[in-house]
Chain A
């Protein structure tokens, strides 16, 4: 389990991570979401001791990462697939990591096979690798020590559709066996498919966290009627705030039963009434981070 407790990291002039607390549970995939520059990568770097926190802490099963005797055997880390010496071969990078952890060399071949890098590809230098190949190598390095916790920053970047499917199955299986997975991604669809829990960060602060079901349910209700304006009006009369979307649908935070009752009382025939879950993670993400997006980073 990963526990982040009141973590803050300040740089001269700005606060990259501001009092962030959350946990990533064993047996679950936790998705870490946020716009560019929200503090995802800084938080992850603090977790693995590459960046010192200004205050607060991050622990793996109650132990600070730097206090783990042989971290590679307990936590698999992939922060940036391109952060490798470009002059080393893929096989050499895995060999160095295996030697450091004290693992037998046959583990290197097992990993190359697991991440589908062919023997000839493994002997090429990393400078000649595509981003997708680097990601595969990075995932191989993370899994090398058979850790029980995985911390992955944008692992799906650069993978082809088959590769994304492969990684999704790999992480799902890993969590099902009791492993803890924390992954960040900009690919919202990916996160939506794989994550059990979500942590959304904006401007260095947690803006939402919980199970995926909770957070998406919070997205409210979507209803349609032949006259959306009448429906919105009826809802307003009943004290239910709602918005008229451009596509003729009416959205509200109230649950579907309430909307249905209001429509019935007003004599409005609904043509569609459902939880707005279908609107999905993207809407939730944009709504939750709208403020922080406007504040600066968004382009």
Chain B
């Protein structure tokens, strides 16, 4: 009924008592705040900033090059997309990898993981942000490519050729997201920036030609390749219109080359020592 029921004996700030003032019970850090902070951390270093900027810059350069150097006949949306796509395949996985591995390589994890000791939350946020950055980047690249296609066609005085159907565009997005996840997976597994990046290049640019070489000389490997070679299976995504068998091949290779190592990495990263 009135305020007189408050007991004075519970007052922790008794005069002369050498106690730190009592405080309101802290609340759990909301995930939205972690998302904001982790997004900020992707941009707030010089390397991070230029890595992110380079997505846009390289897309513009690639588009410009197609307009300038490609013959009239090859000024198609598909070719713009391919020119822009290649730098993306390299940069996006590096962004995903660095977001995790730099916590160990730059040792900032000592602060990050003492402020948020539930590492799984941070890692999950980084994973989500990596995928989001990948999707946004590809959308941006396709938009820049579309502008280039219109501009190039106008300069050449031809009708722009729109030869990327929706399913192919989605395939390109999916392929890039898979690439980013490979970078992310290597980062949680290796927890070292240089190691993760080298690992990604081996994964994506060293193993595929070796596989191709083997396939060209060995019949048994050529038969096996679509079911074993992750890159080979992903390649279909860039062409669009996958058959059920191709999806199955993609699923099988993704399971072994990405999903299983990623699961191991996520398990390890939550327990690994941060030094």
Contacts and interface: CB of A to CB of B under 8 A. Distances in A.
Interface string A68-98: 1111111101011011111110001100110
A179 B40 CA distance: 32
Contacts of A96: 37, 40-41, 44
Interface string B69-82: 00000000000000
A83 B108 contact: yes
A61 to B, nearest CB: 11
B36 A99 contact: yes
Interface in B74-107: 102, 106-107
A88 B111 CA distance: 13
Interface stretch (A49-57, A214-222, A250-258, A266-274): A49-57
B106 A85 contact: yes
> Size band of the A side of the interface?
35 or more
Given A45-B274, A77-B114, A88 B45 contact: yes
Interface string A174-196: 00111100000000000000000
A84 B108 contact: yes
B19 A50 contact: no
Contacts of B106: 84-87
Which of B20, B33, B113 has the most chain A CB within a 10 Å cutoff? B20
A38 B116 CA distance: 27
A119 to B, nearest CB: 18
A48 B36 contact: no
B30 to A, nearest CB: 8
B27 A69 contact: yes
Interface in B109-163: 109-111, 113-118
Contacts of B47: 87
Contacts of B27: 69-70
B274 A100 contact: no
A102 B29 contact: yes
Nearest to A65: B117
Contact of B114 (A71, A84, A86): A71
Given A50-B273, A82-B107, A85-B106, A178 B20 contact: yes
Contacts of A26: 19-20
B48 interface: yes
Interface in B219-275: 271, 273-275
A69 B40 CA distance: 22
A227 B233 CA distance: 92
A66 B27 CA distance: 14
Nearest to B45: A87
A293 to B, nearest CB: 24
A43 interface: no
A202 to B, nearest CB: 22
A59 B26 CA distance: 17
Contact of A70 (B17, B26, B44, B110): B26
A102 B114 CA distance: 15
A170 interface: no
A74 B26 contact: yes
Contacts of B28: 69-70
Contact of B117 (A49, A80, A99): A49
Nearest to B108: A85
A71 B20 CA distance: 16
Given A66-B117, A100-B115, A178-B20, 16 more contacts: A27-B18, A49-B114, A50-B110, A50-B273, A50-B275, A68-B117, A70-B28, A71-B115, A71-B117, A72-B115, A75-B114, A83-B111, A85-B102, A87-B106, A100-B33, A176-B18
27 contacts: A45-B273, A45-B274, A49-B117, A51-B273, A52-B271, A65-B117, A68-B26, A69-B26, A70-B28, A70-B29, A71-B116, A75-B114, A80-B110, A83-B109, A83-B110, A83-B111, A85-B108, A87-B48, A88-B45, A96-B41, A97-B111, A99-B36, A99-B37, A100-B29, A101-B29, A141-B111, A178-B20
